[in-house]
Amino acid sequence: MKRAMAIFLSLCLAGGMLAGCAGGKPKENQGQSGEVSQGNQEDKPSGEVVKLKLGTCAPESSTFVTNAQLMNDKLEELSGGTVTMEIVGGGALGNVPEHFAQLNNGTLDIFVQGVDAPSAVKGGTDFGIFNVPFLFDDTEHFHKFLESDVFASMMEKVQEENKFSWLGLLGDRAPRSLSTKNTPVRKPEDLKGLVLRVPESAVPVAVFQAWGANTTTSAASAIFEGLQSGQFDGQDNGIEAMVVDGFMEVQNCYMKFDHTQQGIGAFISDAAKEKLTEEQMGWLEEALEYAYETTSRKMWEEEIPGYYEAMEEAGITVVSDVDVDAFRQIVLDLIPEFEGEYFREGLYEEIRSLAD
């Protein structure tokens, strides 16, 4: 019954009207030189159709794919149908490193994945810092970082070792939080003895263990069964997953924790930029901007409030009085151990200072 209600409500939200504006989109990374690559400046025949190939590891039903489709619709509109994209989702082109390898060899034009994805390639070690809880105070802090010289220098290291660059932010995502089958969590001690499914990354595993939980990893497709069978007591995930993916059927507690900010990033190959004229690159950037603004506005103003309403109607316990400071202090104590191993020394403070 809970799953049916969640599906019905999410469908209603998807058809809602857009309203208002939830804040500006982070600007395109211009690198240390301040210059934006404009691609191949040579004129191309006016009737030539340029087809770009876009890949993502995210499921076909995810916002990664729907945002990319919206970007493509706008791109075709702006170009009069002369520039279009083939969108390949569901990891059909491989895993994250395999997608980046295809960007590097020019067989893939655009890769849409989490902003932290470059942690999987040479030169991208510092991107592991995205998995540190409470790195960002809020979404505004996260956006400010993506506009900063700090992020630009991180991408510059990646570009030195690879043949792709940052195209821009394609969409916001709800922050990661915590949900359990039956146990309200307000302080770290409440996690003692609980088995939590966390992302398969060294940082969140270390953090959740320091918070007192027993951690395990699994494929995303195995989370529901693991919760249903009792293999997991809870998971580290966002509110969208709780409602849209039907986890309300097997979980009764959601902690309004918002410990890790997330975003949908778009990366473009050097080969793709070479084959596009300045005008075509402009269309692509405008289409990405349009998709971001449209979907972000809807997510913050309609979808997330609707998810909370759905949980309330389904009888889910929403815990709002989490002792965030207690959890944050444990993370701070771990930073000296993480520096030099998962990201360079000093990077954490540089990002934190942007919140001031």
The DSSP-derived string for 171-238 is: EEEEEEEEEESS---SSGGGGTT-EEE--SSHHHHHHHHHTT-EEE---GGGHHHHHHHTS-SEEEEE
pLDDT at 20: 34
Q: What is the pLDDT of residues 168-218, one digit of tens each?
A: 999 999 999 999 999 999 999 999 999 999 988 889 999 999 999 999 988
Q: Is the pLDDT of residue 16 over 80?
A: no
pLDDT band at 47; cut points 50, 70, 90: low
Q: Is the pLDDT of residue 124 over 70?
A: yes
pLDDT at 36: 34
Mutual orientation of helices 63-79 and 278-298 as an angle, nearest 10°?
A: 140
Specify the amino acid at residue 36. V
pLDDT at 96: 92
pLDDT band at 68; cut points 50, 70, 90: very high
Q: What percent of the chain has pLDDT over 90?
A: 78
Tell me whether strands 195-197 and 234-238 are parallel, antiparallel or unpaired.
parallel
Q: What is the pLDDT of residues 300-350, one digit of tens each?
A: 999 999 999 999 999 999 999 999 999 999 999 999 999 999 999 999 999
Least confident of 39-43, 51-55, 176-180: 39-43
Q: Both tokens of residue 217?
A: 């990893």
Q: Is the pLDDT of residue 61 over 70?
A: yes
pLDDT at 62: 86
pLDDT band at 38; cut points 50, 70, 90: very low
Q: Both tokens of residue 138?
A: 């809020």
Q: Is the pLDDT of residue 284 over 90?
A: yes
Judge contact between 52 and 76, C-beta under 8 A.
Answer: no
Q: Is the pLDDT of residue 29 over 60?
A: no
Where is 196: in which H helix or E strand? strand 195-197
pLDDT at 347: 98
Q: Is the pLDDT of residue 256 over 70?
A: yes
pLDDT at 28: 38
Which residues, including other chains, have CB under 8 Å from residue 190's CB and lie 6 or more apart? Answer: 183, 184, 212
Q: What are phi and psi of 210, to 5 degrees?
A: -65, -30
Q: Both tokens of residue 39?
A: 């691609």
Q: Is the pLDDT of residue 44 over 50?
A: no
Instruction: Calculate mean pLDDT across residues 15-31.
Output: 36
Query: What is the residue-averaged pLDDT of the chain?
Result: 88
pLDDT at 18: 32
Judge contact between 105 and 295, C-beta under 8 A.
Answer: no
Of 222, 170, 173, 175, the C-alpha closest to 197 is 222
Instruction: Calculate mean pLDDT across residues 154-172.
Output: 97
Q: Is the pLDDT of residue 356 over 80?
A: no
Least confident of 77-81, 142-146, 296-300: 296-300
Where is 295: in which H helix or E strand? helix 278-298
pLDDT at 46: 52
Greater confidence, 218 or 291? 291
pLDDT at 55: 97
Q: Is the pLDDT of residue 7 over 60?
A: no
CA gap 136, 115 in Å, rounded: 14
Q: Both tokens of residue 161?
A: 């070792």
What global pTM score does this model have?
0.82
Q: Both tokens of residue 315?
A: 């009888």
Within 10 angstroms of residue 192's Cβ, the number of other Cβ atoms is 10
Instruction: Calculate mean pLDDT across residues 238-247.
Output: 89
Mutual orientation of helices 2-14 and 304-313 as an angle, nearest 10°?
A: 150
Query: How far out from the chain centre does Cα 225 lie?
Result: 24
Q: Is the pLDDT of residue 351 over 70?
A: yes
Instruction: Calculate mean pLDDT across residues 265-271.
Output: 98
Helix and strand counts by DSSP (H, E) for the chain = 13, 9
